[in-house]
Amino acid sequence: MNLFRLTGDTLHLISMYILIMKLKRSKNCIGISCRMQELYLIVFLCRYIDLFFMFVSVYNTAMKITFILTTIYTIYLIRVKLPISQTYNRKVDSFKYEKYLIPPCAVLSLFTTKTYGPLVILWTFSIWLESVAILPQLVLLEKQREVENITSHYVITMGMYRAFYILNWIYRFFFDVKPFINVVVWLAGLIQTLLYIDFFYYFALAKWYGKKLVLPFNGEPIN
């Protein structure tokens, strides 16, 4: 465990806390993609299935269980919990990940897995799927255009979590006794980080000029 990995995990937990506080305090889920949360649940269930077969450490087990249960709770708040669920608009949160993300990631995992054991294939699939899991959220925000501060902080924190994980991989490559080399993880992490860059740009622009964050839609300029 190094500082970059610990910071990344902490930022991931903070992003989840920000999201849950936004839902509970505002009593609405406007601007939040449940479809993204569903993708992350699939990611965690596929990646952490080894909970039933392997023990690494108390920290590792606690983090895995926390990620799974927190994501399930978030989906519950959006889909079921009143009055929050009444504000969920399925027509707006309409990104079809079943068509555009899961099949390509599944095929890609079969071509890039190290071995063809079920656990390794599921792990590889989860890596590729996480790299694009933010897309439903970004598409929803693009449709909405004006983004609440707390929602933008949630997305930014998620992006920072991934950025620190990249620093973690760099650190492990240079300083671990056995250099960390995993091309699948590196490529997926790079893709995931690149997807955040556009949002980071408009967020920084809004903060610089002291304005609300407003995203362009289909290339239309921001007024």
Measure CA 188 to chain center.
12
Tell me, what's the pLDDT at 217?
Answer: 54
Mean pLDDT of 71-97: 94
Is the per-residue pLDDT at 221 higher than 70?
Answer: no
Residue-wise pLDDT for 20-29, tens only, equals 999 999 999 9
Q: Is residue 223 part of a domain?
A: no
Q: Is residue 92 part of a domain?
A: yes
Q: Is residue 212 part of a domain?
A: no
Nearest alpha-carbon partner for 21 in 65, 113, 84: 84
Mean pLDDT of 184-196: 89
**Number of compact structural domains in the chain:** 1
- In terms of residue numbers, what domain contains 146? 3-207
**Structure tokens that stand for 134 in this block:** 């933010």
Mean pLDDT of 80-97: 93
Mean pLDDT of 71-100: 94
Q: Is residue 136 part of a domain?
A: yes
The residue that leads in pLDDT, 223 or 112, is 112
Q: Is residue 60 part of a domain?
A: yes
Tell me, what's the pLDDT at 29?
Answer: 93
Residue-wise pLDDT for 63-75, tens only, equals 999 999 999 999 9
Q: What percent of the chain has pLDDT over 70?
A: 90
Q: Is residue 116 part of a domain?
A: yes
Show Cβ contacts of residue 187 under 8 Å, excluding neighbours closer than 6 positions. Answer: 131
How far is residue 22's CA from residue 16's CA, in Å, rounded to a whole number?
A: 10
Residue 214 backbone dihedrals phi, psi, to 5 degrees: -125, 125
Q: How confident is the model at residue 149 (pLDDT cuts 50, 70, 90)?
A: confident
Q: Is residue 189 part of a domain?
A: yes
**Structure tokens that stand for 9 in this block:** 């995990």
Comparing 82-96, 102-116, 147-161, the range with the smallest average pLDDT is 147-161
Is the per-residue pLDDT at 123 higher than 90?
Answer: yes
Residue 201 in contact with residue 216, Cβ under 8 Å?
Answer: no
Show Cβ contacts of residue 53 under 8 Å, excluding neighbours closer than 6 positions. Answer: 119
* 3 state DSSP class of 88: coil
How far is residue 126's CA from residue 113's CA, in Å, rounded to a whole number?
A: 11
* 3 state DSSP class of 93: coil
Measure CA 132 to chain center.
8
Residue 19 in contact with residue 74, Cβ under 8 Å?
Answer: yes
How far is residue 140's CA from residue 143's CA, in Å, rounded to a whole number?
A: 5
Residues in the chain: 223
How far is residue 43's CA from residue 119's CA, in Å, rounded to a whole number?
A: 13
Measure CA 168 to chain center.
17
Q: Is residue 217 part of a domain?
A: no
